[in-house]
Structure 1
Amino acid sequence: MTQHPAPLPEADAVEAPPWDPAKRPGPAIRSYGTQRPRMRIRIDGVWRDAQVIQRQDWPDGRIRMLCDVYLPSEVGWVWLVRGYWWDSAAMRPA
């Protein structure tokens, strides 16, 4: 009998609020410029394409991924900038 690995858990990404500079200390920021890593983010139960703009490492250990995400809108499909707290159940390399 062949053993198959257990499926990876899945969850929707949690959107993170914008950083408020009045709240100190701020995150360590890694910006990716034109060489943006691609990833898939699960939003409303659907895996969406995204490009990482920044990784923000917060002093409390949380990681916020600032991404361009391809999402539906009233005018059709558009790339929108969104920040999400890192969660391996909601984000995957593309």
Structure 2
Amino acid sequence: MSTIPEPEPARPWRPEDGPGPKVWTWPKNDRPSLRVWSAGRWRHAPVVARQDWPDGTIAYQVEVDLRGDTTVVFRTYRWPQPGLRAGLPSGSEPSMDVVEGRAGGMPRRV
């Protein structure tokens, strides 16, 4: 039995949270990935977007097959959590809706 907890999904932004997060995206054919611990295995999860919240929180929206049955779902996870790991990097620079001297990117491998 594993001692790694499955990651907890993040709740979506709400207007009462204040300013919304800045969102980074990558080209669909060159997205980075995370590894998500689910159902006793590490699952490959391509990143759809990275969210940088005003309070410093980082969240990643991913596509992931949580049970290994080919049912792919979208989940957003706050980074870091024990049940998340950096996966494959992207060769492309991310783009953002509003760029004000901020740089996006994936977490470094541990």
TM norm. shorter chain > 0.5: yes
- Report the counterpart of residue 32 of structure 1 in structure 2: 26
How many residues get paired? 83
C-alpha deviation, 1:10, in angstroms: 4.5
Q: What are the Cα deviations for residues 8-63 of structure 1, in whole angstroms up to 9, with x where unaligned?
A: x944312101223x232111110113121022012354321100010101111111
Contact persistence 1:52–1:65 (CA under 8 A) = yes
- Higher fraction of helix: 2
Contact persistence 1:50–1:68 (CA under 8 A) = yes
Percent of pairs with identical residues: 34
- Report the counterpart of residue 4 of structure 1 in structure 2: none
Contact persistence 1:68–1:79 (CA under 8 A) = yes
C-alpha deviation, 1:88, in angstroms: 5.2
Aligned counterparts of 2:11 and 2:40: Cα–Cα separation in 1: 20
In our comparison, the structure showing a higher alpha carbon Rg is 1
Find the partner of 1:18 among 8, 12, 17: 12
Q: Which amino acid aligns with 1:89?
A: P
Q: Which runs of 5+ in 2 are unaligned?
A: 88-110
> Given the two structures, how large is their TM-score scaled by the length of structure 2?
0.63
Contact persistence 1:33–1:53 (CA under 8 A) = no
Do the aligned partners of residues 77 and 41 (structure 1) sit closer, same or farther apart at CA in structure 2, a change above 3 Å counting? same
> Given the two structures, how large is their TM-score scaled by the length of structure 1?
0.72
Aligned counterparts of 1:77 and 1:60: Cα–Cα separation in 2: 35
Q: Which runs of 5+ in 1 are unaligned?
A: 1-8
User: Runs of at least 4 residues of structure 1 off by over 2 A?
Assistant: 9-12, 43-46
The CA RMSD over aligned residues, in Å, is 2.2
Secondary structure, aligned partner of 2:31: coil
